[in-house]
Structures are given as C-alpha cells and as structure tokens.
Amino acid sequence: MRIALVHDWLTGVRGGEKVLFSLMELFPGADIFTLAYRPEKFRDAFEGRKVTTSFLQRLPWGKTKYPYYLPLYWELMQGFDLSGYDLIVSSSSSCAKWIPNPKNVLHVCYCHTPMRYIWDLFEDYFGPESSAPVRWSAKAFRSYLQRCDLRSNAGVTHFLANSTEVQGRIHRIYGRESQVMHPPVEVDRFKVKKGGGEYFLVISALVPYKRIDLAVKTCTERNLPLVVVGQGSEEKRLRAMAGPTVTFKGWASDEEMPGFYEKAKALLFPGKEDFGIVPVESMAAGCPVIAFGEGGILDTVKDGETGVLFREQTQAALSEAVDKFEKMSFDGETLRARANQFSKARFLFKTQVYFRRLYGIKPIGEE
C-alpha cells in the first residue's frame, strides 16, 4: 500500500508538525507532500523520506514568505499528482486537505482547524492593524478561498478533529461529522516540579489572538512577577505596556522549557486555542493552569482540579482568577495524571486503532 502524508508547509516545528512526526511513525513508508520545505529547520527528521514540494518552493521567497502567496494555494495544491497512492492522510490547518484525490481513495484529514484566516479569525489576521494593500487583497480573495476550502471537502472521506472545539467548527463550517483525536504531547520530557514557584508564566507566540496583553497588564498593575517566553508581532507593544515585574525571555528551545515550568507558580493562558499543547505540558510538569475557559482548553484543564478557568476574556476576569488560584492548592501528581491522557503514546495507540478499524482490521490486542 502506498501512503501519502500531506502537510501545509514544513518551515518550523510547532504543534502541527509534531502530529506529522507521529503520523510518520505510524506510517514509516509514507511519502511526504507539502507546499514548501526548509530542511535546515528539521535536522534529520525527514532523513530517508521522499518529500515532494509544490512550485511555491521555486518562487521568490516562497519558503519564507509563503503567506503572501495565499491566493495561489489552490492552484499550487492542484499541481500534485497522487494518482499512485492508496491512502491519503492530511495534517491541515490551512490547505493540506486541498490536495487532489483523483482515484477517490480514503483521504483522512487530521484537521487542526478550518483555515482560521478565511473563516473565524479573519479580522484578527487582516484587521485595521494590517497594511491597506494586505487588507484589501485579503478581502478581495476571501470568498474565493472559502469556496476552494469547501470544494476540497469532496476529496476528504473522513475527518479527525484535534479537539471538541474544532469538531464543532468542522460541523458548522463544513457540515461534516468528525471524530476527536487529541494531538500528541511529549509529556515524558517533563518532571513534576517541587515547591510553589516564583512567578507566573506565559509561553506563547506573541500575536494578537493569544491575548497575552491581558497577562502583561494584570501582572503589571498588581506587581506580580511574570515571565513571558516567546516571540511575535506583538512583542514591541507588550514590552511598552509591561512594568518592572514582567520579564521577556524571547524564544526558547525545547530543552529550556522544563526549567521555566519548574520555577513557575502557574501558567497564564488567556487566549482561545484550537487545542493548546502548552497547558498540557504545564500540567505534565505539575504546574497548574489559569486559562480562559473557551476552546480546546475545555478538553484538557479541569477547573478547580488542574487549574482555574475564567469565563470572560477580560483583565478583570483574569485578575479574579489569579485571586482564586492564590487561595487554592494543587497536587502535582494529579496534574501529571491528567497530562498523561494526552501523551504521544496514547495518540499513537488510538490512531493505529482508528486506521485498523477503518480498514476492517481488528486492533492489536483484539485479534
């Protein structure tokens, strides 16, 4: 059986890429298809794999400025030939599921979310803060890209959703049913921390929809120690509003992350996420989570047991949640046990069960 794994683009390692790596373990002989590929970002992750890229790879700045080619994504994806494959598995938060399925074989789309910037978060990406040419172009092509996204569903036979939040979006936007398959989290990288911690912690891309401003403002006004780990377009604005108790650490490697959790009192997570790998990592380290109670966080954090959820995305609500947290205690082993439910091992097991049943094969252990 020839298997194709399709991913939007391979330009860095984030949550979506970690799902792809796990799928590569599940399908060791599969070929990889992607819009653009930067091998220097992945060490030897794709050694021995056939990686096929689109024409975008050869366009000026195609590997680094690929979002500017968004209006061409449909045509670029249609340039792939998958006629020789028996199974297609796409890992998509953008256009991977747009790949042609000429033989109408099984195409399972692991959907991280329907494309945010043409559906629910259009204003977050192309609002007043965008340049006029970018905003005008986005509005001009939005309906076309929405039609492309809906049209591509004809080639998808099954959807997997990375959370119940995304499952709801798939049903609302695409009118399709899906099965929830939470993404893999490498919980074994973390040890349960000792002690109460020294500071509140944010680990995030510094972009508008993450709402890191709520954490910075709250900790600044209340003179609470906050460590912010991450980079992004909002960094300059966040630094300008931050007081002396807020420290920005910039980008950090995977090897450095456990050290930040070790000294943290709690993770602050004020944005609405599709799933949210960082809160699960935090729980794996025995660090409770204070989070906005919408989105994928509802699948992972148990209010009052592994963290505190606040219901309004406001500074006042976050501040009240911090007060509530300060009066509570949390058990590190309980936090770790919750995180283990989203481990990579569990993902691999559940995914192999899913595909075996899809083909009418009894899962290992049921034979």
Which domain CATH number covers 286? 3.40.50.2000
pLDDT band (50, 70, 90) for residue 208: confident
Query: Do 166 and 232 belong together in one domain?
Result: no
pLDDT of amino acid 78:
97
Lowest mean pLDDT among 145-159, 170-184, 209-223, 351-365: 351-365
Q: Same domain for 111 and 193? A: no
What is the extent of the structural domain holding 177?
A: 3-184+344-358
Same domain for 165 and 25? Answer: yes
Residue 366 in any domain: the answer is no
Same structural domain for residues 143 and 225? no
Mean pLDDT over each residue of the chain, to the nearest integer: 94
Q: What is the pLDDT of residue 131?
A: 80
Same domain membership, residue 348 and residue 336: no
Q: Are residues 84 and 47 in the same domain?
A: yes
**Per-residue pLDDT tens digits for 23-49:** 999 999 999 999 999 999 998 899 999
165 and 299 fall within a common domain: no
- Asked, for residue 285, whether it belongs to a domain, the answer is yes
Give the 3-state secondary structure of the chain: CCEEEEECCECCCCHHHHHHHHHHHHCCCCEEEECCECHHHCCCCCCCCCEEECHHHHCCCCCCCHHHHHHHHHHHHHCCCCCCCCEEEEEECCCHHHCCCCCCCEEEEEECCCCHHHCCCHHHHHCCCCCHHHHHHHHHHHHHHHHHHHHHHHHCCEEEECCHHHHHHHHHHHCCCCEECCCCECHHHCCCCCCCCCEEEEECCCCHHHCHHHHHHHHHHCCCCEEEECCCCCHHHHHHHCCCCEEEEECCCCCCHHHHHHCEEEEEECCCECCCHHHHHHHHCCCCEEEECCECHHHHCCECCCEEEECCCCHHHHHHHHHHHHCCCCCHHHHHHHHHCCEHHHHHHHHHHHHHHHCCCCCCCCC
Count structural domains, the chain.
2
Give the model's pLDDT for residue 128: 75
Q: Mind listing the pLDDT tens digit for each residue in 41-93?
A: 998 899 999 999 999 999 999 999 998 899 999 999 999 999 999 999 999 99
